[in-house]
Structures are given as structure tokens and as C-alpha cells.
Amino acid sequence: MSFTIHCNEIFQHAINDYHLKDDVDTPIANPYERGTLDFQLYQKCWIDTVQWHLEDIIRDPQIDAIEGMQIKHRIDRSNQDRTDLVEEIDSYFRHYFSDVKPLDNARLNTESPAWAIDRLSILTLKIYHMQEQTQRTDASEEHRQRCQQKLNVLLEQQKDLGTAIEQLLEDIKAGRKYMKVYRQMKMYNDPNTNPVLYGKK
């Protein structure tokens, strides 16, 4: 089994587990051993899934303003958790490839393995929810067909992204590409860089 197929299975596991209750306040019960990559992948997709549904809730035109602001703050915290976890996954890959000596002509990729895997996780979520739309009995046949066309594109995208990630990992292992990880400098959560938080008028 390829690495990305394994990732997709873990992502699907997390999504299915979430939808057993379909409640953004459901405590996570990660079935994988803490400290492993599988644990991090499940954790990552769970965060993505909860945030997906928070984004749905906050778009309710009838939502109470205070509740909406609370959810917005929760989404901000979730984004920070997601970013931190992606960086942990990249740390895993940096350690995994630490003995690889890049070739003299090795090239830098536009994104690290973990940020590509981040996109793969979100893509699995899109596929799950688009699949739901193709099966809606309360929607028109036209809607279902339109969503089926979108689903076909998403499935092709999932295959292509998986292939690209596999090729990236192969290139890093062979020294043809090298990893360079930048920590995400999120300024809006930092009281030292957000002017509203540090008091600048």
C-alpha cells in the first residue's frame, strides 16, 4: 500500500468517526498510538473535520452575534492547532530524511510534505461531503448530477495529489529535492504583533 493511500484511509477513519455523532463538541478519541505519524494524521483530519462544520455553522444567517463571534474565535484557535500539527508532521519527515545528503543540483519544492498532506486531508473531507450531496433525496436530480460531476473532479484531484506527494517523497529520499521548513508566522493570534491586541490605535 502506498503512503498516500494509507493517509487517505486514516483520514476517512477520522471523518467516519466524527460523523457517528456529527457534533463539533464531541471529544476526540484517537485510536492510534500517541507519538506516531498515524496518530498525527488522525488528529489532523479530526481538526479539519470539526472546523469544516464550524464553518458551516457560522454561515447560518440567523446565528446569534455573540455565538458567531465565539465560533470565530474557536476557528482561529483551530487554525493555530492545525498549523502546529502540520509543523509536527514536517518534523517527522525532517527526522526521517535526516541521513539523506541532497545532490549538488537538488531543488527546493514549493511546499513541504506536510503541507501537501494537509491539502490531501481537506480533499478527503470535500469528497465525503460532495458524496453526501450526490445522495440527497431532498434535492433535484439536476443538483445531484452537478455534484456528481464535481465529485469526479475531486476524485481525480485526490489521485493526482497522491501521486505528486509520492513523487516528492521519492525525490527527497533520492536527494533530488530537499526539505526546507518555515515556521508559520501567524500574526493575528500573537499579542506582540496584532496591533489591536498590543494596544495600537
Q: What is the dihedral of CA 47, 164, 123, 83, to 10 degrees?
A: 30
Identify the pLDDT of residue 190.
Answer: 72
167-195 average pLDDT score: 84
Torsion angle defined by CA atoms of residues 154, 15, 84 and 155, in that order, rounded to the nearest 10 degrees:
-10
Spans of all domains in the chain: 3-187
Residue 18 and residue 28: Cα distance in Å, rounded? 8
C-alpha cell of 125?
Answer: 473531507
Rounded to an integer, the average pLDDT of 4-15 is: 98
Q: Is 4 exposed, middle or buried (0-12, 13-18, 19+ CB in 10 A)?
A: buried
Q: Under 8 Å CB-to-CB from 128, ≥6 apart: which residues?
A: 12, 15
Mean pLDDT of 117-144: 98
Is pLDDT at 196 greater than 70 in this prediction?
no
The pLDDT of residue 200 is above 80 = no
Longest CA–CA span in the chain (Å) reads: 59
Q: What is the mean pLDDT of residues 60-81?
A: 95
Specify the DSSP class assigned to residue 58.
Answer: H
Q: What is the pLDDT of residues 27-58, one digit of tens each?
A: 999 999 999 999 999 999 999 999 999 999 99
Tens of pLDDT, residues 79-117 = 999 999 999 999 999 999 999 999 999 999 989 999 999
Residue 20 has pLDDT above 80, yes or no: yes
DSSP state string for 123-186:
HHHHHHHHHHHHT-TTS-HHHHHHHHHHHHHHHHHHHHHHHHHHHHHHHHHHTSEE--------
